[in-house]
Amino acid sequence: MYRLQKEGYEAYLVGGCVRDLLLGREPKDFDVVTNADPEQVRKVFRNCRLIGRRFRLAHVHFGREVIEVATFRGATEEHNDMQMLNKDGRLLRDNVYGTIEQDVWRRDFTVNALYYNIKNFSVVDYVGGMTDHKAGTLKLIGDPATRFREDPVRMLRAVRFAVKLGFNLHADCEKSIHQSAELLLSIPPARLYDEVLKLFLSGCALQTFEMLRHYGLFQLLFPDTEKSLSIEEDGFPRLLLIKALENSDNRIADGKTVTAYFLLAAFLWEPFQIKVREKMTQGLVEYLAYQDAANDLIARQVKHTALPRHITLAIREVWGMQPKFNIRTGSRPSRLVTHPRFRAAYDFLMLRAETGGVDAALAEWWTRYQTADVAEQLKMTQPPRNRSNGKLGRKRNPRKKSSDEGD
């Protein structure tokens, strides 16, 4: 910022970093806004790369740190090559540059439109963001319906910020989400996948899930999962997904990592099981039913959120190993524990046991097997003895008497 000012440009901190600092939180990154255009920023910093087509941005690299530098965005009555909307009013490109007074109206929420000025160490607020910040209210700048049409992903951002900050959504914003939810169907599935990761890997997954369902947004991201959640089993709601979300939040709170594929495997498990049962009813054996059900479900899901191939392969492996846990004799268990995805599949088995999806004794057996020594493992995997004679294998028939033996 000082370098830009030294070169004669304006420079401010803006957005989430200012919002979080005012809350006493440590920002995960810092965004700078300036009146220098991207090419001018690149001339000031040799360690700069220009990225983006929809919004042209400068990334200034300092070792592993990256500072995102954006040019003030402006407003224009006539859309030209620098600004492009589709027929629904969604912004496809927006590289119209302007002043700070114009830039503020292009931002999404008032609490994200606070600018920190290093000239006099003040916070510049044009839209009442400080008032909303103190009140804990998440409010859109401008007409909510128009802003959601410009970029429907703002509805997901509204939920994510409200949960993350502990803020309430403004009434006008809430009303418009209910009315505009279907606009998410126009967003490319690859972009929605990126948003799903931000929504559910931030440490507030359970609350985010509940709020997304409340506003009718979850069903647009995971339609088969939403449908399966309405089906109760023996009078009880399905709990595996809820438990997976809780565990994910607890792990993040403890500073542990959460793998995206494990959580997504839990998201899709219930609709997957429904499809497996359908396939088996049609006459397929379990192994083929698992394969076909996974193919069908994942093909449907990627049309809504484009799960990358490495994610879908990992999900298939976690699912495909679940029936293999039922085989506890012979050499199968020792081979199974060497599988690269065993730990994740075992954790998934434990999740199923916790929520009544599998016999707890099965999960306990596999827990003991992993910690047992070789001799104990061999003993645990011996086939059951024949109850009649206490020996392994089939009972022998009594020897026939020969013809020369007496009666």
Q: State pLDDT tens for residues 368-385.
A: 999 999 999 999 999 877
- Concerning whether 373 is annotated as a catalytic residue, the answer is no
Q: What is the mean pLDDT of the chain?
A: 89
Domain membership of residue 72 (yes or no) is yes
Distance CA 396, CA 350 (A): 41
- pLDDT, residue 80, reads 44
Distance CA 84, CA 94 (A): 7
Please identify which residue in the block is written with the tokens 């492996």. Answer: 317
Name, in order, each residue with C-beta under 8 angstroms of 396's C-beta and a sequence gap of 6 or more.
Answer: none
- Find the mean pLDDT for residues 340-366: 95
Domain membership of residue 86 (yes or no) is yes
Name, in order, each residue with C-beta under 8 angstroms of 106's C-beta and a sequence gap of 6 or more.
Answer: 73, 74, 75, 94
CATH at residue 21 = 3.30.460.10
pLDDT at 340 over 80: yes
Question: Measured on CA atoms in the order 360, 361, 366, 370, is the torsion positive or negative?
Answer: positive
Q: State pLDDT tens for residues 54-79.
A: 678 999 998 889 999 999 988 654 44
- Longest Cα–Cα distance in the chain: 122
- pLDDT, residue 78, reads 43
Q: State pLDDT tens for residues 184-243.
A: 999 999 999 999 999 999 999 999 999 999 999 999 999 999 999 887 665 445 689 999
Domain membership of residue 79 (yes or no) is yes
- Concerning whether 108 is annotated as a catalytic residue, the answer is yes
Residue of 20, 94, 103, 108 marked catalytic? 108
Domain membership of residue 395 (yes or no) is no
Q: State pLDDT tens for residues 139-189.
A: 999 999 999 999 999 999 999 999 999 999 999 999 999 999 999 999 999
Distance CA 204, CA 194 (A): 16
Judged by DSSP in three states, 319 sits in helix
Strand 122-125 relative to strand 114-117: parallel, antiparallel, unpaired?
antiparallel
Is residue 326 within 8 A of residue 362, CB to CB? The reply is yes
| Domain count within the chain | 1
Is residue 172 within 8 A of residue 144, CB to CB? The reply is yes
- pLDDT, residue 384, reads 78
Is residue 318 within 8 A of residue 240, CB to CB? The reply is no
pLDDT at 390 over 60: no
Q: State pLDDT tens for residues 268-290.
A: 999 999 999 999 999 999 999 99
Residue 128 structure tokens: 């009442």
| E strand map for 296-365 | none
- pLDDT, residue 75, reads 67
Strand 168-169 relative to strand 137-138: parallel, antiparallel, unpaired?
parallel
- pLDDT, residue 53, reads 73
Domain membership of residue 375 (yes or no) is no
Confidence of residue 399 (pLDDT cuts 50, 70, 90): low
Please identify which residue in the block is written with the tokens 């209910």. Answer: 178
Domain membership of residue 116 (yes or no) is yes
- pLDDT, residue 370, reads 93
- Find the mean pLDDT for residues 130-145: 96
Distance CA 202, CA 340 (A): 26
Domain span at 70: 1-135
